[in-house]
Amino acid sequence: MEQKGKIGVTTDNIFPIIKKFLYSDHEIFLRELVSNAVDATQKLKTYSSLGEFKGELGDITVRVSIDKEKGTLTISDKGIGMNAEEIEKYINQIAFSSANEFLDKYKNDANSIIGHFGLGFYSSFMVSQKVEIVTKSFREDSQAVKWSCDGSPEYTLENVEKAERGTDIILYIDDENKNFLEEGEISRLLKKYCHFLPIPVAFGKKTEWKDGKSVETEEDNIINDTNPIWTRKPADLKDEDYKKFYQDLYPMSDEPMFWIHLNVDYPFKLTGILYFPQIKSNVDLNKNKIQLYSNQVFVTDSVEGIVPEFLTLMHGVIDSPDIPLNVSRSYLQSDQNVKKISNHITKKVADRLEEIFKNDRTQFEAKWDSLKVFIEYGMLTDEKFYDRAQKFCLLKNTDGKAFTFEEYKTLISADQTDKEGNLIYLYASNKDEQYTYINNATEKGYDVILFDGQLDVHMAGLLEQKFEKSRFVRVDSDTADNLIAKEDAVEVNLTDKQKEELSETFTSQLPKIEKTEFTIDYKALGEKAQPIQITQNEFMRRMREMSAMQTGMSFYGEMPNNYNLVLNTEHPLIKKVMADVEGKEKDAVTAYAAESKTVRQLIDLALLSNGMLKGEALNNFIKRSTDMI
Ligand code: ADP
Ligand code: MG
């Protein structure tokens, strides 16, 4: 028999479309063909277990091989094969996909069938000038056939001799795609797409070192793990198994902190393992990605839209036949199934974190610094996650002690409520730079939260919205006495003339610092408090910080950094300066200030404790201080 015919598609010639536009990534043809082979083998196993196939399964390894001389890449399986009629139905009628029919018929047994990828088989034409199918059905007395097509809509079909059941797909690789005849390239692709397929896939033979060179052995080089741990029962797995799998996925990475084994049957199917990596720096954040599988076939590692955004920081594997695969991202984002899956994953992650928090708080606290970025990111971007995480999100203070929101509120309620009944949460963003301020606050009996993470400024904003009658105030935004306004501040008894004299004295001696302005402020803080302090208004500072992170708010970023230079009018040194300049004209005040070591020293000390004394000014200060000793 020899038959010629036209492939049943509506457009006259679908091949140019396949070649150019169908798949942006040519390499996925290999995924499609190997998964078809695995699919056909799984079907045969199903028939066998149902008694519809009575023969021996035998060696069912799928084999991939390259023939450089002929320029061919072949994928062979010992699956169900096809007869002429089936070729007509499944290959020639492109729109018809037998996976549907099979699933319908074997609904309850076929759940391991690789989901269908649309025009899977035809993706072979992306890289081939000609494709042949040599196939023999598993049914008794089947006639083997060869289908051949050179990339035009015409094909030929003829009877051939074939000893064993199954299918060989032979690709005559075209000139532009010669790289797919390289062993290294095929190896890489098999590792990428077929690493966890459920039927063994062999590519060549294992090699070993003999007499100083690598020689082939008899043993097949199986490239996949047919039984990856996410398909196994959590009860059968040990910590070591999870850690080892992590190492397989991401060689050279640090051990993960925790993991979650996902296993859902209803209302959608989803399995997988998600890992919380240790995060040591920003660079680590996007290094490894979650891999998405469909029945053990690798699909993609860009999971945006499927996994909630904050969880893209996690690592691991998600496997679901219910995620539509070859569709656009925007479609994914609006797909109801995908939404459900995404919500479910969020819930599972929250469950797991809560469980660890409850069962092993010590461990949870120890790992908090690495966990924090996930949790805060999640709370900031996902309302539902916030609701869950508020139970285990921690606030760490400058002594390194960790508290839940509830615990922290209890801790500070008594001392940190201002006269209007607002609870004031004090925080520092840098323990060293704000040391003096932290110290001043803790000496007053206040507690200070350490907010030095990337998302902490945003967190402060969020918590202010969530907590009732609460404000977050950075320790250096006012003098310790005024951070939490307890009673009306003591009036400053200065005449306008006195204020002018003081202001002139100090502003005339302030070193010039780029993009920085100072406003002189007068406060009666008592003899014991520092003579001068530098503070920065909380609102202004936050605006600047936000604008540094966002575009479109450059207005605040352009403005100079404004600080308050707070003079304590009750401090003996300030009093002395006031007495010295009393009644003097402007020029005389400036001349006095320039000569006064006290004035210069006081300014420098204030700058120093705020980390603002640098360069020449710092050098002058050191010299002056040495002289004074
Ligand atoms: P899908 O896999 O989604 O059905 P494909 O285009 O990949 O779409 O394959 C079309 C059909 O061709 C398959 O459903 C199957 O019936 C048949 N087929 C493809 N490859 C093989 C194979 N190796 N063995 C048996 N049948 C195959
Ligand atoms: Mg397919």
- Checking if the pLDDT of 109 tops 50, the result is no
Residue 119's pLDDT is what? 62
Which pLDDT band holds residue 281 (cuts at 50, 70, 90)? low
Which CATH number describes the domain made up of 232-365? 3.30.230.80
CA–CA dist 147, 505 (Å, integer): 97
Whole-number percent of the chain with pLDDT over 70: 87
Q: How far is the CA of 32 from the centre of ligand 2 (A)?
A: 5
* pLDDT value at residue 75: 98
Token couple for 86: 């089936």
Q: Under CATH, which architecture does the 393-483 domain have? A: 3-Layer(aba) Sandwich (3.40)
Which atom of ligand 1 lies closest to the CA of 91? 12
Identify the residue whose C-alpha is closest to ligand 1 atom 18: 36
pLDDT of 416 reads 94
Given a contact cutoff of 8 angstroms between Cβ atoms, the answer to whether 300 and 388 are in contact is no
Nearest to 602 by CA among 559, 626, 569, 573: 573
Does the pLDDT value for residue 389 go beyond 50? yes
pLDDT of residue 157 exceeding 60: yes
Segment among 11-25, 224-238, 268-282, 492-506 with least mean pLDDT: 11-25
- DSSP reduced 3-state for 582: coil
Domain ranges of the chain: 3-207, 232-365, 393-483, 496-628
Two tokens at 231?
A: 């398909």
32 in contact with ligand 1, CB cutoff 6 A: yes
Q: Is 169 helix (H, G, I), strand (E, B) or coil?
A: strand
Helix pair 572-581, 597-609: axis angle to 10 deg: 140
Confidence of residue 193 (pLDDT cuts 50, 70, 90): very high
- Per residue in 54-78, pLDDT tens? 999 999 999 999 999 999 999 999 9
Could you name the CATH architecture of 3-207?
2-Layer Sandwich (3.30)
Q: Which residues are placed with Cβ below 5 angstroms of ligand 2, an ion? A: 36, 117, 120
Give, for ligand 1, the residue of 53, 90, 326 to mutate: max count of ligand atoms closer than 8 Å to Cβ.
90
Residue 46 has pLDDT above 90, yes or no: yes
Ligand closest to CA 168 = 1
Pocket test for ligand 1, best of 45, 78, 94, 121 (most atoms within 8 A of CB): 121
Average pLDDT for 465-477: 93
pLDDT for res 114: 32
The 10s digit of each residue's pLDDT in 421-460 is 999 999 999 999 899 999 999 999 999 999 998 888 889 9
Q: Assign 3-class secondary structure to 19-86.
A: HHHHCCCCCHHHHHHHHHHHHHHHHHHHHHHCCCCCCCCCCCCEEEEEECCCCEEEEEECCCCCCHHH
Work out whether the CA dihedral 430, 433, 434, 438 comes out positive or negative: positive
> Can you list the positions of beta strands (E) in 97-228?
128-136, 145-149, 154-159, 166-173, 201-210, 213-222
Of residues 564 and 560, more confidence is placed in: 564
The domain over range 496-628 is classified in CATH as 1.20.120? yes
Max mean pLDDT range (99-113, 169-183, 323-337, 597-611)? 169-183
Q: Is-same-fold flag (232-365; 496-628)?
A: no
| pLDDT tier, 116 (very low <50, low <70, confident <90, very high otherwise) | very low
Residue 113 has a pLDDT of 33
Interval between CA 40 and ligand 1 midpoint (Å):
7
The stretch 553-579 carries a mean pLDDT of 84
Is residue 168 lining ligand 1, measured as CB closer than 6 Å? no
373-383 pLDDT, tens digit per residue, is: 889 999 998 89
* Tokens describing residue 256: 């993960």
Cis preceding linkage at 267, omega within 30? yes
